[in-house]
Amino acid sequence: MRSAPTILHLDMDAFYASVEQASKPSLRGKAVIVGGLGPRGVVATASYEARVLGVHSAMPMSQARRLAPNAAYLVPRFALYRSISDQVMALLRALSPLVEPLSLDEAFVDLEAGGTAWDERSARLAGTKLRADIRAVTGLTGSVGLAASKMLAKIASEEAKPDGLVVIEPGTERAMLEPMPVRTLPGVGPATGDHLRRAGIHTVGEIAEAGEDELVRLLGKAHGHALYAMALARDDRPVVAERETKSVSVEDTYDVDIHDRVRVGLEVQRLADRCVRRLRGAGLSGRTIVLKVRRYDFSTLTRSETLRGPTDDPAVVREAAARLLDSVDTTGGVRLLGVGVSGLADYTQEDLFAQAAGGAGEETPEGEEPETAPEPRPETPAERRWPAGHDVRHAEHGHGWVQGSGLGRVTVRFETPGSAPGRVKTFRVDDPALEPADPLPLVDDPPDLLETTGTRGTPDAPSRPRPLEA
């Protein structure tokens, strides 16, 4: 493990809800809940004002409404969140080529690899400047953790929340971890947590005390070994930038998250078949089967399995994909699924990529079965046309957002990110003067920080000490 806290973990605070508050002045400082508003909807996130009332992610919306009857309830606007995520990730990439996004609002950055930091002081400066830059460009707050490993950097950013920065100084990590609950460690979900609890292990310190043999006995070799190392703060996992993988793959994005496990399984089988058709169409075979799953929060994970020899057999690919799916938790819902085959023979790769590029990315080529129709949304037509929280424009009153709709009426609050809190007016849902609108930028005139970003070479930051010349 490195000796300086130069791995940075950033996570935006109450991300979707904060974006909504930044875009709607009347909601700042108020309880805001973003999620599915239909009968089976769940909370995606809640503003910190709503968390005080007990509302949190993944809670059924009906329960949230009981806890916070006066909160603002909004439908997520993924395209907007993604565009803001892009701005944040661009700021991170200015710090280092090694940026590993984990979801829309979260990433690891190896500051040392970027030459941005090499000791505690320079790391702290880089983290502080990053938080200020994110605020200047997006108007939002993010929390930063700095440590000598990924695990600790992530724990640090969690400690820093909301709107803070925490550095874990090398040498202090074991004492800090000791009293923390086992769930703090990566890879300890509810099931492993229960398992450990039944063995009388509640804290990270108790894992360390139990010893490696006991952990392996309880959890199996791979998991037990890894968890014991984490409990001793040993974590050498590198920050890995997203790389292009060379493969034939197909994927589908779903309009409505799929929660049903059986349906997820069927979709994966269908994608496996499509992938093999494409593989065969190109006269190829490959050894590694890859499953890609993007979850409700845009965190994306891939699982792969390498076979002994190359295959283009649909049954083999289907089975491998199903095995890979077994190891993925999809309880929160799935937005995207993909199946790919890589490990292709070199001599055919060039043709393949020409073909992939010509095929416009991941779309279904002609002649294949049509995409599945999106599931119908449970809302009424008025609510579908005027979802709560979405932007609108009125010919006379200007830009606003839908506060609610029903019974043939839609209520609009007229305000913009830069305005004072606005007034509410009600219209008929078919009012010809009212039309849906694109979101406005959260910050009117964001500074172009990417031109000058980087602590290197700017007057307010130290530059890396140069070795003394001989």
258 binds ligand TTP (CB under 6 A): no
- 100, 106, 173, 251: the catalytic one is 106
Whole-number CA gyration radius for the chain: 25
296 binds ligand TTP (CB under 6 A): yes
Nearest to 44 by CA among 32, 52, 35, 53: 35
- Minimal distance, residue 23 CB to Mg ion, in Å: 17
Task: Return the C-alpha torsion angle 64, 80, 338, 301, nearest 10.
Answer: -70
401 binds ligand TTP (CB under 6 A): no
164 binds ligand TTP (CB under 6 A): no
- Minimal distance, residue 18 CB to ligand TTP, in Å: 8
Among 45, 87, 330, 403, binds ligand TTP (CB under 6 A): 45
74/207 with CB nearer Mg ion: 74
Q: CB count, 10 Å around CB of 29?
A: 11
- Minimal distance, residue 19 CB to ligand TTP, in Å: 8
3-class state of residue 333 by DSSP: coil
Structure tokens at 257: 């998250």
16 binds ligand TTP (CB under 6 A): yes
105/133 with CB nearer ligand TTP: 105
451 is catalytic: no
Nearest to 148 by CA among 174, 180, 125: 174
72 binds ligand TTP (CB under 6 A): no
- Minimal distance, residue 148 CB to ligand TTP, in Å: 22
Residue with the shortest CB distance to Mg ion: 106
161 binds ligand TTP (CB under 6 A): yes
131/274 with CB nearer ligand TTP: 131
Number of residues forming the site for ligand TTP (CB under 6 A): 17
Q: Which residue has the tokens 């938790």?
A: 329
Structural element, H or E, at residue 122: helix 120-138
33/449 with CB nearer ligand TTP: 33
332 binds ligand TTP (CB under 6 A): yes
**Contact residues for Mg ion (CB under 5 A)?**
11-12, 15, 105-106
44/98 with CB nearer ligand TTP: 44
Answer left, alpha or beta for residue 408, where phi above 0 means left and psi between -120 and 50 means alpha: left
- Cα(60)–Cα(57) distance, integer angstroms: 9
* DSSP line for 294-325: EETTS-EEEEEEEEEEEE--HHHHHHHHHHHH
Strand order in the sheet with 7-12: 99-103, 106-110, 7-12, 142-147, 165-167
3-class state of residue 114 by DSSP: coil
Residues with catalytic function: 106
Residues making contact with ligand TTP (CB under 6 A):
11-16, 44-45, 57-58, 105-106, 161-162, 296-297, 332
